[in-house]
A and B are shown apart, each in its own frame.
Chain A
């Protein structure tokens, strides 16, 4: 069974602070996705990283995929209250349509 360890589980910060969320595994994934979920809604895809060493930017969010395709990070610069939500990393496996989810990071950004 492939596992994704996500840390931290909870993060409470003030508006304007920076933060990093980590997603680690001992297994190789064909690609890795990050989702954000707001209360009462389904997860929404933020990004897919496919190539080892890849870096993708989405406004104030920076996503990295490890060289060995086993780990990933999400860095948020100058967090805003609108960034509050559950951040989920999910690994995808070659030849399969299913995702392996990390346990999620609940982020609370206070004004």
Chain B
């Protein structure tokens, strides 16, 4: 089945130690997103790639970076994790739409990586 796969499902890192989360997709979607979700809250968009174009949200801390080496893979790098970065990180994909077109494309989410900071 075509899907969005996130690895690992659970990640534990130390305060200040860089960590990378990965996402892969078999849907061949040109848009990939990274969200941060804290307990019982809505997902908060960190950034997204439209093809190779990187789009950062204005309030995403500099501590968070992303790479998309090809259509299928996208990585979230946290350079110096703090205790406040403990959360579920969700990757999602969608088909892109043309500028000005009405957008009704669904986003397909992975099951997330739960990040804990010691």
Contact = CB atoms under 8 A, between A and B. Distances in A.
A101 B102 contact: no
Contact of B109 (A43, A86, A93, A97): A43
A42 B42 contact: no
B45 A42 contact: no
Contact of B43 (A33, A101, A106): A101
Nearest to B42: A101
B94 A95 contact: no
A43 B31 CA distance: 17
B31 to A, nearest CB: 5
A46 B11 CA distance: 29
A103 interface: yes
A44 interface: yes
Interface in B81-114: 90, 92, 94, 96-112, 114
Interface in A9-59: 30-31, 33, 35, 40-45, 48, 50
A99 B92 CA distance: 11
B111 A42 contact: yes
A44 B44 CA distance: 16
A88 interface: yes
23 contacts: A30-B103, A31-B104, A40-B112, A41-B111, A41-B112, A42-B90, A42-B110, A43-B90, A43-B107, A43-B109, A44-B109, A45-B106, A94-B103, A95-B97, A95-B99, A95-B100, A95-B101, A97-B94, A98-B33, A98-B55, A99-B45, A101-B44, A106-B40
